[in-house]
Amino acid sequence: MGFVVIRQLTATPPTPEAPAGVEVFIAAQNISQGGEVTDVLLTTITVPPENVLAVMYTRDEMPLLVGKIAKFPLDQGVVITESMVSDGSSSPTIAGPQWASLIPAGMTAVTIPADRLSLAGYGVTGGAHVNINACFNFIDIDPAFQTKLPNLSAALTGTGFAGDGTLPALTLGIGAAGSPQGRLELDPSLQQPYYLLPSEAQRPRMVCQMLLQDVTVMQVGDFPSEKTTDLTAPAPVVPETTDPAAAPAPAPTPKDIVTLLVSPQDSITISYLILTDAKLSLTLRNPTDQARQATEASTLQFLLSQYNIPVPAKLPYSLASESESNFIEPVVVPTQ
């Protein structure tokens, strides 16, 4: 009896090798705006070939990257592309400030004066969203002189022959100047004319209105003088001293300016308001509130009508002031 054994050998198909990754350059550490890209500031990461873009710098393109100038600050770990760097010959010789890169495209930064009231009790900080209110003082002026009314009057000596036969006056003389221009009125009781002069300077007429809404605050106070200062970094914590002999720390200087992010047209408007001494104030709003509100300008007439405030009548009696009243002073009980 014969046995035939047939052995079938089954071979496993070879596994295809994964394609090798491509090394692209990233920033090994932070590169400041205007700084030169050197090999010390670079490192590489491996990415799949299908994820490599033409604007990235690969290992073979290192000579093309070294010596370039960073157009804006590059954070550590950022993949460097052609749009982030430029040739040293075409870059500015003076690097701009770091915070200029924080301004969105199409916007500009403008600074306005501020104080504790206009900053909502210093509740307005960098990154806050605010509305801008402006108050104006209107006065009457002479259209020709472009000066504030009333005009000053002066006595004039006219030309012509005098009645006593003296020589004629050939020039127009101006006497002593001084009093403001008034108006002539007729007394209804005596039927006699009299000349009225203003008792004080012209009072301006104020009007206030909200001009801009949902404006982003970039910085409250002066910007740091050091270019390497990071505006987004938290302020350093100063340890408190327990030495009683140590001099007390000086009080911080109140912030008197605030920088806003506005459109170029709004920046021109704000510059005009500052130069014309308009009073600007900021009102803090919720950053998630994107609504726009239509508001009415506030004047004295608007306040009287909007809030139903009557103009008090002229009565033959009035209320006594605190110094004139004879009320009994309250007894103050000393605390134990």
- 3-class SS at 90? coil
Residue 8 has pLDDT above 70, yes or no: no
For the cut 90, the answer to whether the pLDDT of residue 166 exceeds it is no
pLDDT given for residue 305 in this prediction: 96
**pLDDT of 14 higher than 70:** no
Is 60 exceeded by the pLDDT of residue 235?
Answer: no
Could you tell me which of 99, 319, 330 has the C-alpha nearest to residue 222?
99
> Taking residues 148-173, what's their average pLDDT?
67
Q: Is the pLDDT of residue 244 over 90?
A: no
DSSP codes joined into one string, 113-143: E--TTTTTTTT--TT-EEEEEEEEEE--B-T
User: pLDDT digits over 29-65, tens only?
Assistant: 998 877 889 989 999 999 998 888 889 999 999 999 9
Confidence of residue 240 (pLDDT cuts 50, 70, 90): low
Identify whether the C-beta of residue 54 lies closer than 8 Å to the C-beta of residue 93.
Answer: no
Top-level class of domain 22-92:
alpha beta
Beta strands of the chain (E only): which ranges? Answer: 22-27, 42-47, 69-70, 85-86, 108-113, 129-138, 152-157, 173-180, 183-186, 193-196, 205-220, 257-262, 279-285
- One DSSP character per residue, 206-256 reads EEEEEEEEEEEEEEESPPPSSTT--TTSPPPPPPPP--TTSPPPPPPPPP-
Q: CA 56 to CA 24: how far, in whole Å? A: 7
Q: Which of 210, 206, 209 has its CA nearest to residue 300? A: 206
Per-residue pLDDT reduced to its tens digit, 172-206: 555 556 778 888 888 888 888 888 888 888 999 99
At 97, the pLDDT band (50, 70, 90 cuts) reads confident
User: What is the average per-residue pLDDT within 280-306?
Assistant: 95
At 159 the pLDDT is: 59
Mean pLDDT over residues 77-99, rounded?
76
**Does residue 209 carry a pLDDT above 90?**
yes
Of 116, 149, 132, 97, which Cα lies nearest the Cα of 210?
Answer: 132
Local confidence band at 325 (pLDDT 50, 70, 90 cut-offs): low
How far does Cα 125 stand from its chain's mean position?
11
Average pLDDT of the residues of the chain: 82
For residue 268, pLDDT over 50 is answered with yes
Q: In the structure encoding, which two tokens stand for residue 214, read together? A: 């949902």
pLDDT of the residue at 203: 93
Residue 228 has pLDDT above 50, yes or no: no
**Residues near 290 by beta carbon (within 8 Å), at least 6 away in sequence:** 214
In whole angstroms, give the CA distance from residue 286 to residue 270: 23
CA dist list (Å): 311 to 272, 304, 314, 316: 35, 8, 9, 16
Select from 296, 326, 279 the least CA-distant residue to 113: 279
Can you give the pLDDT at residue 3?
A: 46
In Å, what is the CA distance from 18 to each residue of 14, 111, 308? 12, 57, 82
* Percent of the chain residues past pLDDT 90, beyond the cut: 46
Predicted local distance difference test score (pLDDT) of residue 225? 73
Contacts of residues 300-304 at CB distance under 8 Å and 24 or more positions apart, as own/partner, are: 300/205, 300/206
Question: For the segment 100-157, what is each residue's pLDDT rounded down to a tens digit?
Answer: 878 888 999 999 999 999 999 999 999 999 999 999 999 999 999 999 999 887 776 6
Give start-end residues of each CATH 3.90.1210.10 domain in the chain.
22-92
Inter-CA distances, 138 with 149, 153, 203, 204, 298, Å: 12, 23, 9, 5, 13
Amino acid sitting at position 107: M
Q: Residue 186 contacts by C-beta under 8 Å, 6 or more apart in sequence?
A: 192, 193, 194
Residue 2 pLDDT grade (very low, low, confident, very high; cuts 50, 70, 90): very low
pLDDT higher than threshold 50 for residue 9: no
What pLDDT band is residue 308 in, cutting at 50, 70 and 90?
very high
What mean pLDDT comes out for the span 263-287? 96
